[in-house]
Amino acid sequence: MIVDLPSSTTSAVNKKLVELRESGGVLALGRVLTLVVVTDDSQAIENAIAAANAASREHPCRVIVLARGQRRAAARLDAQIRVGGDAGASEVIVLRGYGQLAADEPGAGMVMPLLLPDAPVVAWWPGDAPAVPSEDAIGRLAQRRITDALSAKNPLKAFEQRRASYVAGDTDLTWTRLTGWRALLAAALDHPPHDPVTSALVAGEAVSPSTDLVAGWLATRLGVKVKRSPSSSGAGLSLVRLNRQSGPIELIRPDGKTGTLRQPGQPDRMIALSRRGVPDCLAEELRRLDPDEIYGAALAGVADVTRGRTPVKAEV
């Protein structure tokens, strides 16, 4: 069910939510958090709502989408409520402010009356995010702030902003996309022989924040020299090589879909390792509301990574 409330107020939106709950029995599930989504583009709004709806099946929540309209228009608030089949296991409230309501501070003022009482707040910017999310009006309301440098207009600039402005509670979906890689590499080191890693090589696309992050993570966790080189094949992260005296451990993904794990004394293993979608990454991030210290350390570790210029070919 979709209910449009043009030229409305937050009080009218709250009143309509109560009416829907009492008349139709909808919105009866307990909500574990409020997810505030900040985006402008119409298509991005629908993509973000679809991702939030999918994640809400694991984390029932109230989704508030703040879509800023024209700042030069007359001040007004257009609202929309989505429940039932149009909202997954959540309730979706789309707020589009115009004029003064499109500014940052009034935008946060529109969101505050609709936050669930005594429930954590998570802010998510699916595209371009503020340079310092924790100082943004919406970011100050949230315990967790989720960005996605890869979806920004300039991924490298966005990634550098994340490094420069990180505070506890920040996270980025470029980090979440690495969960499979990190789990496989950590598990590989648990198998004999247990030689220490002496150095590491990470290869990926020239513009790949996830490749930079995994290099920073290895530099921090292993305390060894890590080289980050461009890759001549594959999308995103394509190769991680951990050098040891007994032979290297290699995780290779030349086609962006299927990975191959090579370890000394063991046969090669083929592993499904395609790039994770936004709904899957968002659902994982909503599982934890405490600061991700490992992500913060990985961001800091990028400064210790050596840059290579010669492209590395990831071959199976």
Q: Are 154 and 6 found together in one domain?
A: yes
Structural domain contains residue 315: no
User: Where does a domain end: 172, 205, 236?
Assistant: 172
pTM of the model: 0.92
Task: List, for residues 18-62, the tens digit of each pLDDT value.
Answer: 888 777 655 545 788 999 999 876 678 899 999 999 998 898 999
Q: Are 274 and 206 found together in one domain?
A: yes
Give first-to-last CA distance, the chain, whole Å: 50
Q: Are 168 and 222 found together in one domain?
A: no
Q: Are 14 and 143 found together in one domain?
A: yes
Structural domain contains residue 272: yes
Structural domain contains residue 312: no
The strand ranges marked E within the chain are 2-5, 33-38, 61-68, 76-82, 91-98, 121-124, 144-147, 170-172, 199-204, 225-230, 237-243, 249-252, 258-262, 269-272, 306-307
Structural domain contains residue 316: no
Structural domain contains residue 82: yes
pLDDT of residue 24: 63
The structure tokens 């002496």 sit at: 198
Structural domain contains residue 244: yes
Q: Are 301 and 185 found together in one domain?
A: yes
Helix, strand, coil percentages in the chain from 3-state DSSP, rounded to 5: 35, 25, 40
Q: Are 144 and 249 found together in one domain?
A: no
Task: List, for residues 146-194, the tens digit of each pLDDT value.
Answer: 999 999 999 999 999 999 999 999 999 999 999 999 999 999 999 888 8
Structural domain contains residue 313: no
Closest CA to 66 of 23, 95, 104, 102: 95
Q: Are 157 and 201 found together in one domain?
A: no
User: Quick check: 299 pLDDT over 90?
Assistant: yes
Domain boundaries, position 213: 179-307
User: Where does a domain end: 145, 172, 199?
Assistant: 172
Q: Are 72 and 165 found together in one domain?
A: yes
User: Where does a domain end: 128, 145, 172?
Assistant: 172
pLDDT grade for 228, boundaries at 50, 70 and 90: very high
Q: Are 168 and 266 found together in one domain?
A: no
Task: List, for residues 91-139, the tens digit of each pLDDT value.
Answer: 899 999 888 777 666 578 889 999 998 899 999 999 999 999 999 999 9
Q: Are 87 and 67 found together in one domain?
A: yes
CA distance 12 to 40: 23
Q: Are 23 and 164 found together in one domain?
A: yes
Q: Are 154 and 184 found together in one domain?
A: no
CB atoms under 10 Å from CB of 184, counted, come to 17
Structural domain contains residue 88: yes
Q: How many domains does the chain fold into?
A: 2
Please report, for residues 21, 66, 86, 207, the alpha-carbon distance to residue 111 in angstroms, rounded to integers and kept in the order given.
20, 8, 21, 35
Please compute the mean of the pLDDT values over residues 240-264 and round it to a whole number.
93
132: burial class by Cβ within 10 Å (0-12, 13-18, 19+)? middle
Please compute the mean of the pLDDT values over residues 244-249 and round it to a whole number.
94
pLDDT of residue 256: 83
